[in-house]
Amino acid sequence: MATTTPTRGRGIAMAFTQIDNLLRLLDDGADPASLADPFGAWCDEQIRPWVEDHIAIDTDAVARWQGAELDLARPLTTERIREAAQADPRIGEYAGPYFSMTALPSCPTPAEPLARAVYETGWRAPYAAGPSRDELVAVIEETRARLDRGK
């Protein structure tokens, strides 16, 4: 019924929860020809929020990659709430059900004020170890130049 980007590795978990629900409907005696409506309704309630969460996370990530500053006038994504737990451990208590997928992606929302307070101090998550954007651009340009010389 749905797919997400692999940023959280949830595709298989989502597929299995969908399979589990479909089998439960069959075990409860549902006619296979009439499964579309109840299964679709269940997916709208249980799967769609995960897809929407991934869309929000991915949209925010693209904006970050393009150099956009964090807009504190907008709701924080679950990713931003999660990363703020590095600065305020109280946020972490809301993350368990989110990462185990035992609750919907809205479960970290009560921690948003804590996360927002972290970001309002000017704190930003540290960059992961690895090459900088400029270093990556240099590698790409060097590779392109080599390929052009080889033509």
- 99-144 pLDDT, tens digit each: 888 999 999 999 999 999 999 999 998 877 888 888 999 999 999 9
Q: Tell whether 3 and 59 lie within a shared domain.
A: yes
Range(s) of the domain holding residue 82: 75-151
Return d(Cα 2, Cα 7) in angstroms, integer: 15
Q: Tell whether 60 and 6 lie within a shared domain.
A: yes
Q: What angle do CA 21, 37, 48 make, to 5 degrees?
A: 60
Which residue, 37, 68, 99, sits at the end of a domain? 68
Percent of the chain with pLDDT over 70: 97
pLDDT at residue 95 greater than cutoff 80? yes
pLDDT (tens digit, 9 = 90+) per residue, 70-89? 999 999 999 999 999 999 99
Which residue do the tokens 């927002």 mark? 116
Q: Tell whether 113 and 140 lie within a shared domain.
A: yes
CB 91 within 8 A of CB 84: yes
Q: Tell whether 79 and 147 lie within a shared domain.
A: yes
Which residue do the tokens 């006038």 mark? 73
Q: Tell whether 115 and 86 lie within a shared domain.
A: yes
The reported pTM is 0.78
pLDDT (tens digit, 9 = 90+) per residue, 48-62? 999 999 999 999 999
Is the torsion defined by CA of 58, 61, 63, 65 positive or negative? negative
Structure tokens, 150: 């080889």
Residue 42: CB atoms within 10 A of its CB come to: 18
Which residue, 68, 95, 120, sits at the end of a domain? 68
Number of domains in the chain: 2
